[in-house]
């Protein structure tokens, strides 16, 4: 096959073209398979990307998909409106706070768990703990919030009932409705849900460490903590950096450390609104509920642009400081 194309390259364009069609004909079924996939992506991934321009227009849903292109331009009007929205400051603060708190608290949790698990020599126990630890990953946020409700609700929650029963508090803690508690609730539930899942990747990184290093360190008299510090941890560093970049890139969405939107939407209520309203829930409310499509698209776009900037800058910083990077 390869020889053929090389020869035809010399003998002339017509032959080359004939070869091209012959090859294409031979592969036609394969191109049909792939083509179906491409059509799918065109409809469900690329058309929405072009739809971003509606953020700069006055789009009306009644005009359908055509309207994205035909509606009038209004430039940055919607962005301007968003920045001047009376809720803008609170929403942005909540989004950033939730995201960064999660990186600080939810990101190290799987690393710690992986190190702890690595120290367990009993394989059965280790596997059992692992299996249990990533079970919550497979449960939907709805159920996680439901579970949180059965434990924390002021009226029927088990924690409050137990604490009251023991006389440790005199009135129930309104964890689910007090704005003060929302960030802690979100971070805590994210740790509970996703910690075990991400240990899979860190344990794999540890498995890649040469066992001879441990033996050598032991002979040199390094204790267990010393071995963790000087062998296990450095061995995971590359993976940690890559996962951290990924985390920061998807930080506004909550990404690897638990969906911000689902948490804010499900844990959120009219009372904890001052700390639970984030960019995404707000975009959802003004967009799909109030029908202000262009305005919501503009809010969405702001968030995506910030995410792209975050992933590129964290990648750049990681490359400069540690040598590991995503791209």
Instruction: Restricting to residues 225-284, name those near another protein by CB under 8 A.
Output: 225, 242, 262, 266-267, 269-271, 283-284
What is the rounded CA–CA span in Å between residue 230 and residue 270? 49
User: Given the rule CB under 8 A, which of 9-17, 97-105, 152-160, 316-324 is the region that contacts another protein?
Assistant: 152-160
Q: What is the smallest separation between the CB atom of 15 and another protein, expressed in angstroms? A: 17
Q: Report the residue from 3, 65, 166, 219 that binds another protein according to the rule CB under 8 A.
A: 65
The one segment of 7-15, 61-69, 76-84, 88-96 that binds another protein by CB under 8 A = 61-69
CA distance 98 to 184: 9
40 touches another protein (CB under 8 A): yes
Residues 56 and 295: beta-carbon distance below 8 Å: no
Q: Which residues pair with 73 in a beta bridge?
A: 57
Residue choice 151, 214, 233, 312 for contact with another protein (CB under 8 A): 151
- 255 HSE (CA, 13 A, CB side): 18
Which residues, in sequence order, are bridge partners of residue 57?
Answer: 73
Query: Pick from 37, 75, 167, 211: which binds another protein (CB under 8 A)?
Result: 37
CB 236 within 8 A of CB 202: yes
**Which sign, positive or negative, has the C-alpha torsion 162, 168, 174, 176?**
negative
Q: Residue 14 Cβ, how far from another protein at the closest point, in Å?
A: 19
Cα–Cα distance for residue pair 291/298, rounded to 1 Å? 13
Is the Cβ of residue 88 or residue 192 nearer to another protein in the bound state?
192
Minimum CB–partner distance for residue 283 and another protein (Å): 7
Contact 68, 52 (CB under 8 A): no
Given 6, 64, 124, 170, the residue binding another protein (CB under 8 A): 64
Chain positions 78 to 137 lying near another protein, rule: CB under 8 A, are: 113, 116-117, 119-120, 125, 128-129, 131-133, 135-136
Q: Kindly tell me which of 242 and 317 has the beta carbon lying closer to another protein.
A: 242
Asked if 1 interacts with another protein (CB under 8 A), we say: yes
Q: Report if residue 10 touches another protein, rule: CB under 8 A.
A: no
| Span interacting with another protein, options 63-71, 81-89, 98-106, 312-320, rule CB under 8 A | 63-71
Binding positions for another protein, 177-206, rule CB under 8 A: 177, 192, 196, 200-201, 204
Q: Which of 7, 43, 83, 309 binds another protein (CB under 8 A)?
A: 43
Name the minimum Å distance from CB 251 to another protein. 15
Of 273, 252, 290, nearest to 87 by C-alpha is: 273
For tokens 């058309």, name the residue.
47
Least separation in angstroms between residue 214's CB and another protein is 14
Closest approach of another protein to the CB of residue 218, in Å: 10
Contact 96, 248 (CB under 8 A): no
CB environment 65-91: b (16+ within 10 A), e (fewer): eebbeebeebeebbbebbeeeeeeebb
How many Å apart are CA 37 and CA 29, to the nearest integer? 13
Please provide the size of the chain in residues: 327
Of 104 and 305, the one with the shorter C-beta distance to another protein is 305
Return the HEC string of 126-161: HHHHHHHHCCHHHCCHHHHHHHHHHHHCCCCCHHHH
Size, binding site for another protein by CB under 8 A:
93
**Which of 15, 74, 154, 173 forms a contact with another protein (CB under 8 A)?**
154
> Binding residue for another protein (CB under 8 A) from 6, 13, 14, 44?
44
Tokens, residue 243:
């996962």
């Amino acid at each position: 096959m390869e020889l053929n194309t090389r020869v035809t390259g010399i003998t002339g364009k017509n032959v080359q073209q004939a070869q091209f069609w012959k090859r294409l004909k031979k592969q036609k079924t394969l191109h049909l398979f792939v083509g179906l996939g491409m059509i799918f992506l065109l409809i469900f991934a690329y058309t929405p990307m072009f739809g971003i321009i509606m953020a700069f227009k006055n789009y009306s849903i009644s005009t359908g998909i055509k309207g994205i292109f035909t509606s009038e331009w209004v430039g940055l009007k919607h962005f301007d409106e968003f920045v001047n929205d009376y809720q803008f400051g609170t929403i942005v603060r909540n989004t950033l706070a939730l995201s960064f708190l999660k990186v600080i608290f939810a990101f190290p949790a799987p690393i710690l768990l992986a190190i702890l698990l690595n120290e367990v020599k009993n394989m059965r126990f280790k596997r059992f703990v692992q299996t249990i630890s990533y079970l919550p990953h497979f449960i939907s946020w709805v159920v996680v919030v439901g579970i949180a409700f059965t434990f924390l609700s002021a009226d029927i929650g088990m924690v409050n009932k137990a604490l009251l029963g023991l006389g440790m508090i005199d009135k129930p803690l309104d964890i689910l409705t007090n704005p003060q508690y929302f960030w802690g609730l979100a971070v805590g539930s994210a740790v509970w849900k996703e910690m075990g899942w991400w240990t899979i990747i860190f344990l794999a990184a540890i498995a890649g460490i040469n066992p001879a290093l441990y033996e050598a360190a032991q002979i040199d008299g390094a204790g267990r903590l010393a071995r963790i510090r000087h062998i296990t941890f450095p061995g995971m560093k590359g993976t940690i950096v890559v996962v951290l970049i990924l985390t920061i890139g998807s930080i506004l969405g909550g990404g690897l450390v638990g969906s911000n939107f689902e948490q804010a939407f499900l844990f959120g209520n009219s009372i904890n609104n001052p700390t639970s309203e984030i960019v995404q829930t707000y975009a959802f409310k003004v967009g799909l509920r109030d029908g202000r499509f262009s305005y919501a698209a503009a809010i969405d776009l702001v968030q995506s642009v910030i995410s792209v900037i975050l992933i590129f800058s964290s990648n750049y910083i990681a490359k400069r400081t540690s040598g590991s990077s995503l791209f």
